[in-house]
Amino acid sequence: MKTGGLSIRVMRMRDLPMLVRIMEMAFTSKRLTAGEQLANLKRVYATAARSACFIAHAEGEPVGFVLTQKNDANWHAPTPSAHVRLLAVAKDFQGRGVGTRLLRMSLLALKKAGYSEASVNARLDNAKAIALYERVGFERDALKFITNL
Ligand SMILES: CC(C)(COP(=O)(O)OP(=O)(O)OC[C@H]1O[C@@H](n2cnc3c(N)ncnc32)[C@H](O)[C@@H]1OP(=O)(O)O)[C@@H](O)C(=O)NCCC(=O)NCCS
């Protein structure tokens, strides 16, 4: 898909180093090295719902991606469920509808692939992500509890 200088296509294995670059341009907190991020992305991608993972480019530069997996946490559910594991858009390109488009395309592809439900996690302080998820139709469903060890 190509609109207004933005092109979105299905992600491939060889795109993974680009995802690390996008994450560096999207997230403010930096806890892992690029090598560690790549190793984690490889692990996640190994079980990805590949037809529903997309990468966005603007003027040839990678600017955003969505990475989706089969939801193994929901293994007991009667119908296949998917989980949006990572959605990221480079800071300079945020607020232009890139994240919304990536997420909508992913949800459509998941539906085509036979999934009947998708979930996504958001931190309570990530107002932008929460607003986006609610805009595309996600509803709040579960509470996650966390403690320091
Ligand atoms: C959360 C995130 C993916 C959102 O991506 P994004 O591309 O900025 O999202 P969108 O542009 O689609 O939507 C954001 C805003 O732009 C507005 N917008 C949507 N389409 C637009 C368009 N065509 N033109 C202008 N604005 C638009 C939306 O209404 C929305 O407004 P809001 O801020 O009032 O809610 C991005 O902020 C990000 O990468 N954050 C860091 C990583 C992260 O937290 N990821 C989620 C958890 S894994």
Please report the pLDDT score of residue 68 as a whole number: 97
- Read off the pLDDT band of 29 (50, 70, 90): confident
| Mean pLDDT in residue range 36-42 | 96
**Domains of the chain (ranges, CATH numbers):** 2-135 (3.40.630.30)
pLDDT per residue as tens digits for the range 93-148: 999 999 999 999 999 999 999 999 999 999 999 999 999 999 999 999 989 899 99
104 lines ligand 1 (CB under 6 A): no
The C-alpha atoms of residue 133 and residue 149 are separated, in whole angstroms, by 30
Q: Ligand 1: which atom is nearest the Cα of residue 98?
A: 7
Token readout for 111 is 């539906």
- Read off the pLDDT band of 3 (50, 70, 90): low
CA distances from 107 to 38, 40, 46, 62, 73 (A): 24, 23, 19, 21, 18
Alpha carbon nearest to ligand 1 atom 15, residue: 95
